[in-house]
Chains A and B, each alone.
Chain A
Amino acid sequence: MPSKKSKLHLYADECIPIPSIIYLKKKGISVVHAYDINFVKKPDIIHLKKSKQLNRILLSLDKDFKKFKEFSLQNHPGVILISTGDVTPESINKILDKSFKHVTESSAKDSLTLVTIDKIIRERDGEITKKTI
């Protein structure tokens, strides 16, 4: 059952499988997928810029965002990076379910947030905070 109020506004790059997008929408989360706006096959920097333009947190599985230095996340809605042993929707949805109870738009802002099945690691301005979930 979708919640009454959408907590997060996301922009998912093409790595996120469509069934996980459907799952998030059913949970009441507002999410735009790169495929919806014909933005597949675009470089990482384009996804970062698009998410900022849309004022939506970028959701990805792409580990390259961890080492991305060409784009500052200051004044950016933030990046949420899912780290999972396998990339099937089943595994991704489990992590989303567990971690999104602890992620808000304000906690994601200006940050790279790495979410796993049992941890949330946030990097903002070089400062790293870890939370076990």
Chain B
Amino acid sequence: MKKTTKSNSKNIYLRGSRIPITFLFDYIKKGYGISDFLSSYPWIKKEDVIKKLEEFEKEEISGRYAF
């Protein structure tokens, strides 16, 4: 599996994929779940989505916002 890479644009991609993580955010914003996202892109593994979300959790930015 390739490492997560950042492209020359602002998109961040899921591991082993060319699908930007912003696609997942669109699903969540529309009320869909991770399983719906994985049905759309069946070659992406659930564990890679979870890993990416956990990476986001650790980012400094996540502590700056609260509901």
Contact = CB atoms under 8 A, between A and B. Distances in A.
B26 A41 contact: no
Interface in A77-109: 86-91
Interface stretch (A3-11, A13-21, A113-121, A125-133): A13-21
A105 B41 CA distance: 27
Interface residues of B, number: 16
B39 A35 contact: no
Classify the interface of chain A: helix, strand, loop or mixed. loop
A64 B9 CA distance: 9
B41 A17 contact: yes
B42 A18 contact: yes
A16 to B, nearest CB: 9
Interface in B1-40: 9, 16-19, 23, 26-27, 29-30, 32, 39-40
B42 A87 contact: no
Nearest to A16: B40
Contacts of A87: 23, 26-27
Contact of A15 (B18, B29, B30, B43): B18
Nearest to A63: B9
Contact of A19 (B9, B17, B29, B40): B40
Contact of A86 (B17, B18, B29, B39): B29
B27 A18 contact: no
Given A15-B19, A64-B9, A88-B32, A40 B26 contact: no
Given A14-B18, A40-B17, A19 B30 contact: no
A19 B16 CA distance: 21
Interface of A: 14-15, 17-19, 35, 40-42, 62, 64, 86-91
Interface of B: 9, 16-19, 23, 26-27, 29-30, 32, 39-43
